[in-house]
Amino acid sequence: MIKTARHTFIIARGLLCRCAKKSQDSLRKRVALFFASKILRSFDAIIVLCENGFCEDAEIVARSLLEAYAKACYIEGQQDPEAAARELLEFWHKKIAKVFRRVQEYPDTFYEEFLQKFDPSKKIRSYRVKKRLWPEKPIHEIFRSVGEETFPVCREWYDLASDVVHSNARVIPEYLDTHNNFRPFSLCGPASPDSRSDRLLHCLCAIIMLMTEGLCSTFAVSMPKESDEIHTRLCELESHVLRKVT
């Protein structure tokens, strides 16, 4: 599965480079490049982590990857993707303004100097948006944008990874050997790649291929010839991965 994931990454990276050379005449395209770049960088890190037996840590990065993919799909799924992309940036402005207003309440010389340096005219602090922006929606609502077929598996991995991200009790057996006096697995070094990492990589390879299709549509470029080979390989591996789990 590692080999297929690497091949998928290389194909998607090549497509991203092709898209980056095209005219970026809209905010929508620039945001699409941002999400694709972030997703591929995370995917590259996940492959390295899984290859070295750090599946749980790979899931933490995968959660961020899936959220980025869902937001990219949400923008492209709107009647006016350009307006949706603009609203993504507007949300950032709204959020940073809120942080700056909170900072000014701290009675500390450091924060006073900080605000004087970065917001001397109070322009940032005065920025206010009353309406609710789409990035403020619950993430599971945004996840609906990935499509009916993809939503269940994205939701499954996102929720599973949540326990690792937030150190919930469910993941205790993944770090302590509950059958051996709760001995930390970390003392034995990283584990070997297992069926769980294979399932994760299989899922993410499919997501990456869907992302490439979206990029092709946004930038009006053709899909890489090797994409059919990846789709075929993923179908071949699907039963193998599921059989390892059962």
Cα 202 to Cα 16, 59, 112, 246, distances in angstroms: 21, 13, 50, 16
- Identity of the residue numbered 114: F
Say whether 52 sits in a helix, a strand or coil.
Answer: coil
Q: What is the pLDDT of residues 192-231, one digit of tens each?
A: 556 788 889 988 999 999 999 998 888 988 887 777 777 7
* All structural domains of the chain with their residue ranges: 2-245
Confidence of residue 43 (pLDDT cuts 50, 70, 90): very high
Q: What is the pLDDT of residues 84-111, one digit of tens each?
A: 999 998 888 888 888 888 888 877 778 7
Three-point CA angle 83, 72, 42, nearest 5°: 145
Confidence of residue 240 (pLDDT cuts 50, 70, 90): low
Confidence of residue 170 (pLDDT cuts 50, 70, 90): confident
Q: Which two tokens stand for residue 12?
A: 């998607």
Q: Alpha-carbon torsion 234, 211, 54, 141, what sign?
A: negative
Burial of 155 by CB count in 10 Å (0-12 exposed, 13-18 middle, 19+ buried)? middle
